[in-house]
Amino acid sequence: MFFHSLKYAFITMLKNKTALIWTLIFPIALGSFMYMAFGNIYEDQALFTEVPVAVVKEKENENFEAMLKELSKEDDEQLLVVNYMEADEAKEALLDEEVVAIINMNEDIDLTIASNSYKATMVETIINEYKKQEKVITDIAKNHPENLAGVIENLADSKNFYTEKNTSDGNQDMMTNYFYAIFAMSCLFGSFGAIEKIGKLQGNVSPLGMRRCLSPNSKMISIVAEFISMITFQTIVQIIALIYFVAIGVDFGNKYPQMIGILFFGSCIGIAFGIIIGSISKLSENTKSGICISVSMVIAGMADLYANGVKDMIEHKAPIINRLNPAALISDSFYALNVYDTNERYFGNMAILGTMTVVLLIVSYLMLRRNKYASV
Amino acid sequence: MGNAIEVKNLVKRYKEILALDHFSLEVAEGEVFGLLGPNGSGKTTTINCILSLLSYDKGEIKIFGKEMKPDSYELKKNIGVVMQNVAVFDELTVYENVDYFCGLYISDKELKKKYVEEAIEFVGLEDYKKFLPKKLSGGLLRRLNIACGIAHKPKLIFFDEPTVAVDPQSRNKILEGIMQLNKEGATIVYTSHYMEEVEQICSKILIMDGGKNVAIGTKEELKKMIKNTETITVDVMNLTQEHIAKIKEIPHVYAVKYADNQLVVNCSGGKHNIVRIIDFFQNNDIAIGRVNAQQPTLNDVFLEITGKELRD
Ligand SMILES: Nc1ncnc2c1ncn2[C@@H]1O[C@H](COP(=O)(O)OP(=O)(O)OP(=O)(O)O)[C@@H](O)[C@H]1O
Ligand SMILES: [Mg+2]
């Protein structure tokens, strides 16, 4: 019975050509438009500007200083501009945005950053990298001081930093950010299809739903079948869009499996959102679509779809919103993939999206179940 | 044989509308049971309550002797429904639609295939298997709707106004089909506000109005309940009040109406009423046109009991 339902869930999905085309056209059209608008700027090799940091030296740390020196050497590969300051001065400089970060050298190396910009993230990555390697460096300094310079140079030259340097190209930042938001929006738009599909399961919404309610099977079977088909379809559409964007030259980095993971969980949350809205029996189909459009637009806007900087502002004022806004989580996951070396933040985001999906689905099932009994 | 359906004291309210008011009903196995009532009388509501598609405020519903609930899957296996609104997938072809719904009941692939073919043949859509619903005419679409409801060979089938907006030819085909299903052993519940259809196929008829049971019986029984036994219509011009008063005095005549040059005479009992009326006109030297005598219809039954016309 399940496979029968699954089979027809896929068939009805694939045969609904209008929906099929629109789902695909939306991200591709919006992406192409963005690309054309930004294309020229993108072509220009905007200059990378070195990152100004304040260093507060409370305790000597030869190795660390050596590394800072290496990184701020004035050549093509210069990453940092180091300013040694007192703690108060440093704070002021950070507030005045003269520096992007304060590095505090005491027992440990502490970092204070003002905003979640690429530049700040880069400094953060450098410090983390250093901390990871610290023991190795200290050992070398003790036993083979003659090799130290080479090691530090290596560390500074390591590939990560170069990637940072590339992706830190200001204009490209902005454009790639838009593409992240487009994916977020596109995932959330999966909710439309879900509303229609779920309507066709409800006896009080459509004659078709009524007939299906009469079948001698649990509603759960149909819901799961529809969900699986929608997710598969939606994810594939997003992957096609991704391939298209990469083909026209948008640089998303190269962690494709993880990106597909984002698109999958993003599709899950979009569809689960549609399912729960679709399960509210009191609303008309139009109201439901209206809710989906407006919510998607608003939260994608909060994830920088229309203007850069909204997400950062929210991060400052109420970071919890960014942790719960699916659109922000989706675009942040792309960002995290390309900026961080580790996948912690990525997996954290995926876990939140996954949990939210499961919760939405459970609530929807309970609502749908109750609908069977409720008066229309 | 037992009862296929038993409904006792069903009360259903939609907010302030009382759609069913202590409505009761029994359908014996093997019957073609007609539920007749004007628009809004509660036919669809009754069926939806019986099928547990709607919750109800009070009452008891049993199907094949067992209580019917939304998860009575064993009972549901034996039920087929052809709804008032066409319920098919627009994206699926005729064959796929029937296959989908049949597959919800029948897991065995071979058997399912056989049933699907039979259902399509039954409604005469063999030539349209690959058609999408939007390519079908209204009548053919209704037939597809029927095929989807009956493909799994249910023992109890509900037809909720399956002939609305269907041309007479398709309508007859549908009615014949229903009789055929009944012959093959299915119990049928048929709702309609077309009394002719109900008279034509139903072995038992329940007339309802305003959510209440108005009368129940075979069509002969129902007609015996009322005073009217014959309605005679005469096309005649320029009748005076005097004439009309005299016609009223003819034996067995109990009501006379004259409007638009048409005289309608209701008779109760007696034979040769029509002869007596024609005689009256001849004796008074009045030229008359068409004359027509009619047995009472269910409309007359409804009219007499409720004071309203069945159809507006
Ligand atoms: N979903 C609903 N919400 C509110 N009132 C309803 C609803 N469905 C039906 N009603 C009301 O309940 C009463 C019975 O309606 P029902 O549809 O059962 O009639 P019906 O006999 O099937 O009519 P028809 O011949 O038009 O199909 C009507 O007064 C109708 O307006
Ligand atoms: Mg009805």
B105/A15 touch (CB, cutoff 8 Å), yes or no: no
Question: CB distance from B83 to chain A under 8 Å?
Answer: yes
How many C-beta atoms surround the C-beta of residue A39 within 10 A?
13
Is A28 a member of any domain? yes
B53/A214 touch (CB, cutoff 8 Å), yes or no: yes
Q: What is the mean pLDDT of residues A201-205?
A: 82
Taking CA atoms, what residue in B is nearest to A373?
B55
Decide if pLDDT at A165 tops 70.
no
Decide if pLDDT at A376 tops 70.
no
Q: What is the mean pLDDT of residues A230-256?
A: 89
- pLDDT in the model for residue A81: 85
ipTM value of the model? 0.81
Percent of chain B at pLDDT > 70 equals 99
- pLDDT in the model for residue A116: 65
Q: What is the mean pLDDT of residues A103-109?
A: 85
Decide if B3-223 and B230-295 have a common fold. Answer: no
Nearest CA to ligand 1 atom 12: B19
Decide if pLDDT at A162 tops 50.
no
Nearest CA to ligand 1 atom 17: B44
Residues A196 and A111 in one domain: no
Q: What is the mean pLDDT of residues A93-99?
A: 84
- Residue A224 pairs in a beta bridge with none
Residue B22 alpha carbon to ligand 1 centre in Å: 16
Decide if pLDDT at A164 tops 50.
no
Which amino acid, B138? G
**Ligand closest in space to the Cα of B13:** 1
- pLDDT in the model for residue B264: 92
Quickly name the fold that domain B230-295 has: Alpha-Beta Plaits (3.30.70)
Decide if pLDDT at A350 tops 80.
yes
Alpha-carbon dihedral angle through residues A152, A153, A158, A160, given to the nearest 10 degrees: 80
How many C-beta atoms surround the C-beta of residue B11 within 10 A?
16
A11/B91 touch (CB, cutoff 8 Å), yes or no: yes
A211/B81 touch (CB, cutoff 8 Å), yes or no: yes
- Indicate the number of domains in chain A: 2
Question: CB distance from A16 to chain B under 8 Å?
Answer: yes
Confidence of residue A163 (pLDDT cuts 50, 70, 90): very low
Of the candidates A115, A130, A157, which is a domain's last residue? A157
Question: CB distance from A8 to chain B under 8 Å?
Answer: yes
| Inter-CA distances, A160 with A149, A151, B207, Å | 19, 15, 83
- pLDDT in the model for residue A44: 42
Is A167 a member of any domain? no
What is the tens place of the pLDDT at every residue in B153-172? 999 999 999 888 788 888 88
- φ, ψ for residue B202 (rounded to 5)? -90, 135
Q: Which domain holds residue A89?
A: 54-157
The whole-angstrom distance between residue B150's C-alpha and the CA centroid of its chain comes to 18
Residues A334 and A188 in one domain: yes
Confidence of residue B308 (pLDDT cuts 50, 70, 90): confident
Decide if pLDDT at B275 tops 60.
yes
Decide if pLDDT at A357 tops 90.
yes
Shortest distance, CA B56 to any CA of chain A (angstroms):
7
Is A196 a member of any domain? yes
Percent of chain A at pLDDT > 70 equals 88
Residues A185 and A329 in one domain: yes
Shortest distance, CA B188 to any CA of chain A (angstroms):
17
Kindly write down the DSSP assignment for every residue of B58-126, as one continuous string: EEEEEETTEE--TT-HHHHTTEEEE-SS----TTS-HHHHHHHHHHTT---HHHHHHHHHHHHHHTT-G
- pLDDT in the model for residue A47: 44
The enclosing domain of A73 has a CATH number of 3.40.190
- pLDDT in the model for residue B217: 93
Residues A125 and A179 in one domain: no
B104/A11 touch (CB, cutoff 8 Å), yes or no: no
Is A313 a member of any domain? yes
- Ligand 1, atom nearest to B161 Cα: 27
Which distant-in-sequence residues (6+ apart) come within 8 Å of B244 by Cβ? B256, B258, B263
A8/B100 touch (CB, cutoff 8 Å), yes or no: yes
Confidence of residue A41 (pLDDT cuts 50, 70, 90): low
Residues A228 and A292 in one domain: yes
Decide if pLDDT at A85 tops 90.
no
Quickly name the fold that domain B3-223 has: Rossmann fold (3.40.50)
- pLDDT in the model for residue B306: 82
Confidence of residue A77 (pLDDT cuts 50, 70, 90): low
Q: Where are the domains of chain B?
A: 3-223, 230-295
Question: CB distance from B254 to chain A under 8 Å?
Answer: no
- pLDDT in the model for residue A49: 66
Which amino acid, A220? M
Decide if pLDDT at A145 tops 80.
no
Q: What is the mean pLDDT of residues A87-91?
A: 87
- Ligand 1, atom nearest to B43 Cα: 21
Q: What is the mean pLDDT of residues A29-56?
A: 70
Is A164 a member of any domain? no
Confidence of residue A166 (pLDDT cuts 50, 70, 90): very low
Residues A35 and A67 in one domain: no
Shortest distance, CA A195 to any CA of chain B (angstroms):
16
Residues A188 and A232 in one domain: yes
What is the tens place of the pLDDT at every residue in B192-245? 888 888 989 999 999 999 999 989 999 889 888 888 888 999 999 888 899 999
Q: Give the environment of ion ligand 2: residues with CB less than 5 A.
A: B 43-44, 84
Nearest CA to ligand 1 atom 5: B14
Question: CB distance from B100 to chain A under 8 Å?
Answer: yes
* B14 Cβ below 6 A of ligand 1: yes
- φ, ψ for residue B25 (rounded to 5)? -165, 140
- Give CA–CA dist A161/A129, Å, rounded: 10
pTM exceeds 0.80, yes or no: no
Query: Taking CB atoms and an 8 Å cutoff, what residues of chain A touch B104?
Result: 1, 4-5, 212, 215-217
- pLDDT in the model for residue A50: 76
- Give CA–CA dist B98/A217, Å, rounded: 17
Confidence of residue A45 (pLDDT cuts 50, 70, 90): very low
Is A16 a member of any domain? yes
Decide if pLDDT at A103 tops 80.
yes
Average pLDDT, chain A: 82
What is the tens place of the pLDDT at every residue in B63-111? 999 999 888 899 999 999 998 889 999 999 999 999 999 999 999 999 9
Decide if pLDDT at B309 tops 80.
no
B70/A4 touch (CB, cutoff 8 Å), yes or no: no
Q: Compute the half-sphere exposure of residue A19: CA atoms within 13 Å on the CB side of its CA.
A: 19
What is the tens place of the pLDDT at every residue in A289-343? 899 889 988 988 888 877 777 888 888 888 888 888 999 999 889 888 877 777 8
Q: What is the CA radius of gyration of chain B?
A: 23
Which amino acid, A34? M
Decide if pLDDT at B260 tops 80.
yes
* B41 Cβ below 6 A of ligand 1: yes
Average pLDDT, chain B: 91
Decide if pLDDT at A39 tops 80.
no
Question: CB distance from B103 to chain A under 8 Å?
Answer: yes
* B17 Cβ below 6 A of ligand 1: yes
A12/B14 touch (CB, cutoff 8 Å), yes or no: no
Q: What is the mean pLDDT of residues B284-289?
A: 90
Decide if pLDDT at A43 tops 60.
no
- pLDDT in the model for residue A40: 54
